[in-house]
Every structure is written in C-alpha cells, then in structure tokens.
C-alpha cells in the first residue's frame, strides 16, 4: 500500500527490512506529542493500546496483510491528521494558543 510506504518514509526515512510496525507507530505518536500537533489533537495517545500485538511486532513489509486491515486503517487515519497538523504553518495566535494549552496542562511559560 503506497500510503503506508509514504508514512514510513516520512517518519523514519529509509527503513530497513526488519523495521517493525511498532517503530513506525512510535514515531507517529512522538510526532503527535509535539506542541504543534498536541494542542489540537490528542487522539493518538491511545493508538498503540487499540492495535494488536501481532500487528505491532510485524515487520513493515507485512503492512498489506488482510488480517491487519483494521489496524492499518487506524494507523493511517491517525497519521493523516497528525502529519497534516505538523506540516502547517502556525499564526502568531496559534502559537499563543499552544503556550496557553501547555500552561493549562501544568507546564510553565518557560518550558
């Protein structure tokens, strides 16, 4: 599936054949945890819990297996939103909203 190959390339660069799907998901969650994304989207926080262990432990070359269809859809749906948010340019108001969001979660203005 081209979408998954594109996701792997965006998150990990050229992945080796033994790269696991879990490594890709971890990279996606890390991107989702950046301030630029997290202030507007936090659905990725429970993503790994909802995915099967077999799927996560599989090499990226197994992404197309039919038995992983629902797991793969969940990852791609999250990736679509996280990557969209991470790539967009922020206005000064949005940067201020990020600071306010961090402060509301207990982080100081200097963090």
Residue 86: name the closest of 50, 39, 43 by CA: 39
Instruction: Tell me the whole-structure pTM to 2 decimals.
Output: 0.77
Average the pLDDT over 4-24 and give the result.
74
Check if the beta carbon of residue 79 is closer than 8 Å to that of residue 28.
yes
pLDDT band at 68 (very low <50, low <70, confident <90, very high): confident
Distance between start and end Cα atoms, the chain: 40
More confident residue, 95 or 61: 95
% of the chain exceeding 70 in pLDDT: 80
pLDDT band at 107 (very low <50, low <70, confident <90, very high): confident
Q: What is the DSSP string of 51-107?
A: S-HHHHHSBGGGTT-GGGHHHHHHHHHHHHHHHHHHHSPPPHHHHHHHHHHHHHTT-
59 beta partners: 20
- What is the token pair recorded at 55? 């799927």
Q: What is the DSSP string of 13-38?
A: SS--TT-BHHHHHHHHHHHHTSHHHH
Check if the beta carbon of residue 24 is closer than 8 Å to that of residue 65.
no
């Amino acid at each position: 599936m081209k979408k998954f190959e594109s996701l792997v390339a965006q998150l990990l660069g050229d992945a080796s054949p033994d790269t696991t799907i879990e490594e890709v998901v971890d990279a996606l969650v890390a991107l989702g945890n950046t301030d630029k994304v997290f202030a507007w989207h936090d659905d990725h926080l429970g993503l790994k819990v909802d995915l099967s262990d077999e799927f996560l432990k599989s090499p990226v070359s197994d992404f197309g297996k039919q038995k992983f269809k629902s797991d793969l859809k969940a990852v791609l749906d999250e990736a679509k939103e996280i990557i969209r948010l991470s790539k967009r340019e922020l206005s000064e108001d949005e940067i201020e909203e990020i600071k306010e969001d961090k402060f509301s979660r207990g982080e100081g203005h200097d963090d």
